[in-house]
Chains A and B, each alone.
Chain A
Amino acid sequence: MRQLASLKTALTGNYAVAYAVKMAKPHVIAAYPITPQTTIVEKLSEFVAKGELRASFVNVESEFSALATVYGASMAGARAFTATSSHGLFYMYEMLWWAAGSRAPIVMAVVTRTVGPPWNIHDEHNDILAIRDSGWAVAMASSVQEAFDLTVQAFRLAEKAYIPVAVGLDGFVLSHTVETLELPPQELVDEFLPPRSPNAPMPLRPGLPLTFGNIPSDDRIHAEHLKRIYWAHQEAKKAIKEIDAEYGKLLGRSYGGLVERRWLEDAKYAVVCMGAWCGDAEAAVESLRREGVPVGLMRLRFIRPFPDEEVAELEAAEKVVVFDRDITPAGGVLGREVASVLGRDKVVDVVAGIAGVDFKASDFKAAFRKALEAEKGVVLI
Chain B
Amino acid sequence: MGLELIPISRPAPGSGGLTGTWRTLKPLVDLAKCIDCGICWLYCPEAVIDWEKGKKISIDYAYCKGCGICAHECPVKAIEMAPEET
Contact = CB atoms under 8 A, between A and B. Distances in A.
Assess A/B contact in the complex (Cβ within 8 A). Answer: yes
Q: How large is the interface on B (under 10, 10 to 19, 20 to 34, 35 or more residues)?
A: under 10
Interface stretch (B5-13, B68-76, B77-85): B5-13
A202 B3 contact: no
A233 interface: no
A210 B4 CA distance: 13
Contact of B5 (A162, A211, A221): A162
Interface in B1-23: 3-11
Contacts of A117: none
Contacts of B10: 209-211
B5 A209 contact: no
Contacts of A103: 5-6
B30 to A, nearest CB: 37
Nearest to A224: B7
Q: Which of B3, B4, B5, B6 has the most CB of A within 10 A?
A: B6
A211 B9 contact: yes
Contact of B9 (A102, A201, A210, A225): A210
A101 B6 CA distance: 8
Nearest to A103: B5
Interface string A205-227: 00001111010100001101100
Nearest to B10: A210
B6 A212 contact: yes
A211 B3 contact: no
B56 to A, nearest CB: 30
Main SS at interface, chain B:
loop
A221 B7 contact: yes
B9 A200 contact: no
Contacts of A210: 8-10
Contact of B8 (A162, A211, A228): A211
Contact of A214 (B3, B4, B5, B9): B9
A271 B7 CA distance: 42
Interface in A17-54: none
A103 B6 CA distance: 7
Nearest to B15: A214
A201 B6 contact: yes
A359 B7 CA distance: 47
B17 to A, nearest CB: 9
Nearest to A216: B7
A228 B11 contact: no
Contacts of A102: 6
B9 A212 contact: yes
Contacts of B7: 212, 216, 221-222, 224-225
B6 A225 contact: yes
B11 A202 contact: no
A224 B5 CA distance: 11
B6 A202 contact: yes
B9 A228 contact: no
Contacts of A225: 6-7
A228 B2 CA distance: 12
Contacts of A200: 5
Contacts of A202: 4-6, 8
Interface string A74-115: 000000000000000000000000000111000000000000
6 contacts: A102-B6, A103-B6, A202-B4, A211-B10, A221-B7, A228-B3
Interface of B: 3-11
Given A202-B6, A216-B7, 10 more contacts: A201-B6, A202-B4, A202-B5, A209-B10, A210-B8, A211-B8, A212-B6, A212-B8, A224-B7, A225-B6
Q: Which 7 A-B pairs have the closest CB atoms?
A: A211-B9, A201-B5, A103-B5, A201-B6, A209-B11, A210-B8, A162-B5
